[in-house]
Amino acid sequence: MKKNTKKNMKFYAMILAMVLTLTQLVGVAVPVNAAGVKKCSHGYILAGDIGIRLHECAESVCITCYHGHAKRVVIPEKFKLYGRMLPPTQFDWDDGFSENGVKEIVLPDTVSSMGYWDEEDVEDGNIGFRGITFYVHKGSKAEKAVKRHNPYKYLKDNTKLQPVKGTTIKRAVRIEKLAKLTWRRT
């Protein structure tokens, strides 16, 4: 009777191992969306007002669409996607940016492609982001990407594009047309 029990346990252990292996294989081939992940009307994952997708190389993010109404959009240096912090490297196209009133986009240095793919796009005039000025650092990948067909300006220095976290305003006092701010240093 003991031999039968050991055989049964080995059999069940082998079945469990096979199920776990298949689950891992399917999980790698077909990503499962985590609870609470918001998607836009185009089916892309929303990061704030920006629709993003995983790049084919799986080491970066593609920016696909915009669903906000800001005049100036600052693209973050990293997006959290599938538990990893990934830099944006590509804009797929101008989907929602110019339609929603965006006038300026500040790009991180990692963006290297701006959504035009071949010379047919250039000949057809389907290039560029209409009415949008890009802000880039001089000598960056982003400068090379926007330089071909988009208006751009240089950022004044190489400081971070995002505000410093942890800085808080202690007090704000308004005196006629002036304002006095006091803040805590980080």
Based on the domain organization, do 26 and 49 belong to the same domain?
no
Based on the domain organization, do 60 and 8 belong to the same domain?
no
Based on the domain organization, do 15 and 50 belong to the same domain?
no
Based on the domain organization, do 24 and 57 belong to the same domain?
no
Lowest mean pLDDT among 18-32, 70-84, 86-100: 18-32
Identify the pLDDT of residue 151: 86
Lowest mean pLDDT among 45-59, 68-82, 121-135, 158-172: 158-172
Based on the domain organization, do 63 and 127 belong to the same domain?
yes
59 CB-side CA count, 13 A: 3
**Is 70 exceeded by the pLDDT of residue 150?**
yes
Average pLDDT over residues 92-98: 83
Share of the chain residues as helix, strand and coil, in percent rounded to the nearest 5: 20, 30, 50
**pLDDT above 90 coverage of the chain, percent:** 15
Based on the domain organization, do 90 and 149 belong to the same domain?
yes
More confident residue, 32 or 6: 6
**Is 60 exceeded by the pLDDT of residue 124?**
no
Based on the domain organization, do 18 and 88 belong to the same domain?
no
More confident residue, 98 or 164: 98
Q: How many domains, the chain?
A: 2
Identify the pLDDT of residue 29: 41
Pairing type for strands 104-106 and 152-154 reads unpaired
In a domain, 164, yes or no: no
Q: Report if pTM > 0.85.
A: no
Quickly state the pLDDT bin for 125 (edges 50, 70, 90).
low
102 vs 129: CA distance, rounded Å: 10
Based on the domain organization, do 53 and 137 belong to the same domain?
yes
**Is 80 exceeded by the pLDDT of residue 122?**
no
Average pLDDT over residues 104-133: 72
Average pLDDT over residues 29-44: 66
Average pLDDT over residues 87-107: 87
Identify the pLDDT of residue 97: 87
Based on the domain organization, do 59 and 125 belong to the same domain?
yes
In a domain, 24, yes or no: yes
Encoded tokens for 132 = 């949008």
6 vs 9: CA distance, rounded Å: 5
11 three-state secondary structure: helix
Domain span holding position 15: 1-30
Lowest mean pLDDT among 38-52, 113-127, 139-153: 113-127
**pLDDT above 70 coverage of the chain, percent:** 66
